[in-house]
Amino acid sequence: MKKIFNFTLMALLVLVFAACGKEDPFPGMGEGEGQLSTKKMMVKVERQENEVRASFDVASFIVDILKDGEVVESYTYSEMPEVITLPVGTYTVRARSGEVQPVAWEAPYFEGERQFTVKSKEITEVETIECKLANVRVSILYAEDLLQQMGDDCKVTVVMGDNASIEFSKNETRSAYFAYVPGSNTLVATFTGTVGNETREDFKAYTDVAPANHYKITYHFKKPDLPDDEGSITFNGVIIDATVTSEDLRVNVDPGEEEIIDPSDRPSEGGDEPGPGPGPDQPGDKTAPQVIIPEGSAIVFDQVMDIVDGSNYSLRMTSEAGFQHFNVEIDSPYLTEEFLNGVGMKTKFDLCNPGSLEEALKSFGLATGNEVSGQKSVDFDLSSLIPLLALDPESHVHNFIITLVDANGTTTKTLKFRN
């Protein structure tokens, strides 16, 4: 389940004024200058990424304005001026969650950028910037059969690039985050220490490592094929076998799907992490809630959808364990809390526990209460709610953030509509 940071610069409409015989509406701007308005700028954190549980203070985010690759202005978000005057030209605005480090424990770094153009004596609007994980996450895991035989001196040293190195002790449960440097995409992990009665070393190299991915390196104990003359197995020739799985942190991931160790040995994220399920290829695998686009639906994930009158905007949600919560959050500059109160709605609601909103939700064709709670399949149709967006006189992006919760985990999807 993915956790993505949306950085929205919302400004005034482009104003065009005739200069002849009128007072200059842009005092302080020369003929070759324009303005970027940050008066309505908003930094929003959407908790879509289950793999990243760190809490960020958005006030400390850094906003850089670049031209030709060089930073011309830089601000802390909380201290940005409301209006920025810039020479005419093409720029890039970059939002980032601080300074990236070569490698550090539990230090995810997020970054996103978008181009904009400053025109003479105009106020420029910049649309949404999506900040995504821009470094490489690494976790070291041990299968239970190996963990029982490992001495306290066991460790894994992970190196990426020329000078980024970090050491995982036997009991280290944190993840390390490496800066991604183009051209330095090889990760090397070296296991050393006492296993049984032997000192062992295992060297593994992984190529084509990519940012925004979580690499879980799992070590197993591989026993000899045959017993000795007395029928017992010794540790002579013990083999340490390392495998790696990779997860793209830009998409929804069930944290329980790829873990293959005891829950107590899982990497610690902090916060209320969902409980893990058994590992892959083991009996009893658990799957978090699923979001399915049925045939005929106009829904498209991971992009802004232009609203087409008469289209079908439906989804099918499934849960192996039965839904505990079906949360919906409407993040829209038009469908505000005040607006929705007028039609008996709110910007946030739980279809499993609708409370006083049940009648209004049903009027929009949404299942509620026992029709959702504990169910293993629910149809979710926004077709009756979407027409409200057509009333917006502006062309805004409207987000519908859906969070599904059951005993197996949490899944979050964001639907983006533009009227």
Residue 72 pLDDT grade (very low, low, confident, very high; cuts 50, 70, 90): very high
Angle at 155 between CA 154 and CA 157, to 5 degrees: 155
CA nearest 101: which of 43, 159, 178?
178
Q: Are 33 and 87 members of one domain?
A: yes
Residue 236 pLDDT grade (very low, low, confident, very high; cuts 50, 70, 90): very low
Q: What's the rounded mean pLDDT across residues 224-239? A: 46
Q: Say yes or no to pLDDT of 257 above 60.
A: no
Residues 195, 196, 199, 203, CA torsion sign = negative
Last residue of a domain, one of 64, 99, 133: 133
pLDDT value of residue 270: 30
Note whether residue 23 is domain-resident: yes
Q: How far is CA 24 from CA 18, 21, 30, 84, 224, in A?
A: 9, 9, 11, 18, 85
Least confident window among 54-63, 129-138, 272-281, 375-384? 272-281
Average pLDDT, the chain: 74
Q: Are 261 and 302 members of one domain?
A: no
Amino acid occupying residue 323: F
Q: Are 157 and 195 members of one domain?
A: yes
Buried b (16+ CB within 10 A) or exposed e, 221-249: beeeeeeeeeeeeeeeebebebeebbbeb
Q: Are 122 and 212 members of one domain?
A: no
Query: What is the Cα–Cα distance from 3 to 230, expressed in whole angstroms?
Result: 55
Of 142 and 238, the structure prediction assigns the larger pLDDT to 142
pLDDT value of residue 210: 85
Q: What's the rounded mean pLDDT across residues 338-359? A: 88
Angle at 401 between CA 4 and CA 78, to 5 degrees: 50
Ranked by mean pLDDT, which of 74-88, 256-270, 373-387 comes out on top? 373-387
Q: Are 101 and 157 members of one domain?
A: no
Phi, psi (degrees; rounded to nearest 5) at 239: -115, 130
Q: Say yes or no to pLDDT of 263 above 60.
A: no
Q: Are 153 and 255 members of one domain?
A: yes
Last residue of a domain, one of 71, 103, 133: 133
**Pairing relationship of beta strands 110-118 and 89-96 according to DSSP bridges:** antiparallel
Q: Which residue has the tokens 């296991």?
A: 191
pLDDT value of residue 166: 94
Note whether residue 278 is domain-resident: no
Q: Which long-range contacts (CB under 8 A, 24 or more apart) does 348-354 make?
A: 350/325, 350/326, 351/326, 351/327, 351/378, 352/323, 352/324, 352/325, 352/326, 353/325
Q: Say yes or no to pLDDT of 325 above 80.
A: yes
Q: Say yes or no to pLDDT of 230 above 60.
A: no
**Is the Cβ–Cβ distance between 305 and 299 less than 8 Å?**
yes
Least confident window among 153-157, 160-164, 296-300? 160-164
Q: How far is CA 129 from CA 32, 43, 334, in A?
A: 26, 9, 19
Domain housing 220:
135-265
For the chain, how many residues are written? 419
Query: What is the distance between the terminal CA atoms of the chain, rounded to a whole angstrom?
Result: 27
Residue 72: which residues within 8 A CB-CB, separation 6 or more? 65, 66, 86, 91
Q: Are 210 and 319 members of one domain?
A: no
| Total number of domains in the chain | 3
Q: What's the rounded mean pLDDT across residues 293-311? A: 85
Q: What's the rounded mean pLDDT across residues 20-49? A: 53
